[in-house]
Structure 1
Amino acid sequence: MYDTILVPTDGSDPANRAVEHAMELADRYEADVHALYCVETHRYGEPALSSTEIVLERLEEKGAAMLAELADRADNVGIDWTSTVCHGLPWEAIHEKADEVDADLIVLGYQGQSHQRSSKIGSVAERVVRHADRPVLTA
């Protein structure tokens, strides 16, 4: 049913649930998983040898470390896992990556770290669902 699954993550609880779902589906369907961490550069501006550059580097390092840990977990259970850190608007990056890897499914948290209301879908998840041309599962 699924050959390629895209799972964007920001380390939030809903994103972690999405990772678990993606791993379960990948194990069940022997699918490849592509994990994505997007540094939201629009929040900070583009770096120009400033404190912004330091913040963006730390966010990249955080994302890379998180993805490396997830890749180790996936490797331990035999899931083919690829990780990418990118810059940009997360919902756009998710769609671009889904197209690039020809994902059969996008699995993402229903809200991310910047969202505070537990009963509402986050703006990234809402935009991904609204603009998707493939199935999207929110967790």
Structure 2
Amino acid sequence: METILLATDGSEYARRAAREALDIAERRDAALHVICVVDERRFGDPALSSAELATIYAEDHAAVSVDEVIEMAEHRSVVVEGDTRHGIPHEVIVEYAAEVDADTIVVGEHGDHEEHFSGVGRHVSEQTDRDVVVIEAIPDQ
């Protein structure tokens, strides 16, 4: 069975990429894995400091972002598994793609990360031989 990996950050651009990834998975009868990476450059591990609340918020946002994609698939014939991780987004995405043996990686053109997903998509493309699909940021009609 083919495997698609969707990288999300919960932004509107990522939702558009999620819809496209679900369509691709459905057409190909593929499993869909979704990951949201808490960028360790912006949010370190929680500690007793003022950054703790921001890190906790980022972790919660990552979990909600993954759950949103799982909910989007409820009425489709696509099996979705999700995960959240800490790290540098493009590095974690490439590592996770290897773990799940993804055939295709889908990312949105822009996102909420400090480094736009176009940058993440470019970095992912440079670091993997897997097919990388960057979904263009076109506003919904």
Alignment check: 8 A CA contact 1:108 1:125 kept: yes
**Is the Cα–Cα contact under 8 Å of residues 111 and 117 in structure 2 kept in the other structure?**
no
TM-score (norm 1): 0.87
Which residue of structure 1 aligns with residue 100 of structure 2? 101
SS at match of 1:122: helix
Counterpart in the other structure of 2:78 = 79
Aligned length: 135
For the residues of structure 1 that align with 2:117 and 2:46, how far apart are their CA atoms?
A: 30
Structure 1: state its 5+ residue gaps: none
The one-character-per-residue Cα deviations of 1:42-89 (angstroms, maximum 9, x if unpaired) are 123333222222211111111212221221221221210001011010
| 2:132 aligned residue | 136
Contact 2:4/2:21 (<8 A) preserved: yes
- TM alignment of 1:1-139, pairs within 5 A: 3-114=2-113, 122-139=118-135
The DSSP-based 3-state class of the residue aligned with 1:53 is helix
Structure 1 residue 121: deviation in Å? 6.9
Does the 8 Å contact 2:32/2:79 carry over to 1?
yes
Instruction: Give unpaired runs (5+ residues) of structure 2.
Output: 136-141
Runs of 4+, deviation exceeding 4 Å: none
Paired with 1:124 and 1:66, the residues of 2 have a C-alpha distance of: 17
Aligned-residue RMSD, C-alpha? 2.0
**Identity score, percent:** 36
